[in-house]
């Protein structure tokens, strides 16, 4: 039964893959032709380099959605994991220990989600939203603690100011009020560990694309050729049918949240080191859970579950980044226009998916 479904989906995969590839090509060519840089290779390189760290995040969202659930925790996880890495680095821990601790916490988050949602039947929307708020709060606490340790008695400046210590550089943007609590993490407020050795900046974690491509290949194989992958798709297609077939639906749902947590960890680490260059704020990651969900849907993941194409999801995230780069390259295309374009694209995809005629 799973093989028959897979064979029937091959033409559908090709249709959507072609559509996404064409959209990416047109968007990158527009950025090249109308943008300030009239060299094609830098434009392509920029789009791809900024896409690789975010593709695992979109795959995590797609993995959960394809099982019939939803995960809103990546925003909080992003914020928390990045601040945790820099906080541990501030305590002079070895890099291996830092990533090991962060990885262990990601495993714990995945187990918490899987246990409460899969086995105790907690609503995934509320559960993951709660953990997202919790982790964001911890990230803000770490952020303000680092600031207070550096300037415990000094009043807040009236404009952005950099504070240097022997282990870190903090630049923060204060709000109108005074006191440490008035530092609200904004996208421009970053904590940068400037004592990371050069080998840590250019090591294996600083190259996102091998990790991302490996994850895509693994997920394609997992979905098509492993028993747990086939069971996952069966649960997403029909949860009641999966129960009647004797599948352990609770364990399969728990596994999807656990794997999604690991993918979010990988995405956050690649984003921290490869994209942000070691800079982070407690607000980093805000809204990325919606970006991941949007890329998953554009990539063909059915919101009702049962459909998951890792290659298309990766292409959808590349398209998302390409549209963002186009909004930067063209003076008459701003963030508002980008949001409108993404909204129209989502509406079209939703209706085409519903009709199952052009992009099944």
Q: Can you give the CATH number for the domain in which 238 is found? A: 1.10.3470
More confident residue, 83 or 163: 83
* Nearest Cα to Cα of residue 60 among 261, 241, 204: 261
* Residues of the domain holding 309: 2-136+197-355
The residue to which tokens 């999604």 are assigned: 260
**Residue 147 falls inside a structural domain:** no
Element (H, E) at 88: helix 74-90
**Residue 184 falls inside a structural domain:** no
Q: pLDDT tens across 219-270, in order? A: 999 999 999 999 999 999 999 999 999 999 999 999 999 999 999 999 999 8
More confident residue, 180 or 190: 190
**Residue 152 falls inside a structural domain:** no
The domain total for the chain is 1
Instruction: Compute the distance between CA of residue 301 and CA of residue 65 in angstroms, rounded to an integer.
Output: 7
Considering only the C-alpha atoms of the chain, give the largest distance between any 2 of them, rounded to a whole number of Å: 68
* Nearest Cα to Cα of residue 320 among 350, 285, 346: 346
**Residue 163 falls inside a structural domain:** no
**Residue 183 falls inside a structural domain:** no
Q: pLDDT tens across 306-349, in order? A: 889 999 999 999 999 988 888 777 766 666 776 777 788 778 77
**Residue 64 falls inside a structural domain:** yes
């Amino acid at each position: 039964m799973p093989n028959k479904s897979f064979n029937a989906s091959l033409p559908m995969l090709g249709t959507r893959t072609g559509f996404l590839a064409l959209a990416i090509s047109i968007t990158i060519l527009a950025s090249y032709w109308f943008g300030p840089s009239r060299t094609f290779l830098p434009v392509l390189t920029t789009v791809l380099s900024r896409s690789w760290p975010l593709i695992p995040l979109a795959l995590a969202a797609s993995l959960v959605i394809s099982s019939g659930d939803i995960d809103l925790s990546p925003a909080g996880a992003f914020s928390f994991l990045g601040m945790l890495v820099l906080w541990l680095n501030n305590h002079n821990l070895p890099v291996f220990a830092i990533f090991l601790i962060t990885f262990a916490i990601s495993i714990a988050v995945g187990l918490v989600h899987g246990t409460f949602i899969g086995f105790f039947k907690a609503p995934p929307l509320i559960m993951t939203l709660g953990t997202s708020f919790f982790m964001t709060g911890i990230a803000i606490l770490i952020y303000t603690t680092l600031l207070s340790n550096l300037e415990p008695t000094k009043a807040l400046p009236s404009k952005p100011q950099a504070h240097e210590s022997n282990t870190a550089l903090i630049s923060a943007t204060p709000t109108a009020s005074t006191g440490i609590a008035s530092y609200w993490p904004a996208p421009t407020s970053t904590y940068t560990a400037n004592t990371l050795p050069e080998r840590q900046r250019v090591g294996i974690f600083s190259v996102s694309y091998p990790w991302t491509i490996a994850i895509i290949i693994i997920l394609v194989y997992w979905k098509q050729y492993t028993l747990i992958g086939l069971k996952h798709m069966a649960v997403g297609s029909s949860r009641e049918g999966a129960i009647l077939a004797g599948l352990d639906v609770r364990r399969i749902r728990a596994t999807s949240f656990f794997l999604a947590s690991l993918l979010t960890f990988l995405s956050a680490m690649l984003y921290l080191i490869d994209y942000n260059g070691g800079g982070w704020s407690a607000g980093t990651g805000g809204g990325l859970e919606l970006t991941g969900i949007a890329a998953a849907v554009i990539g063909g993941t059915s919101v009702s579950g049962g459909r998951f194409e890792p290659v298309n999801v990766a292409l959808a995230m590349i398209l998302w980044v390409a549209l963002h780069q186009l909004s930067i390259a063209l003076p008459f295309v701003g963030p508002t226009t980008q949001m409108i374009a993404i909204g129209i694209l989502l509406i079209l995809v939703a209706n085409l998916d519903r009709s199952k005629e052009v992009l099944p």
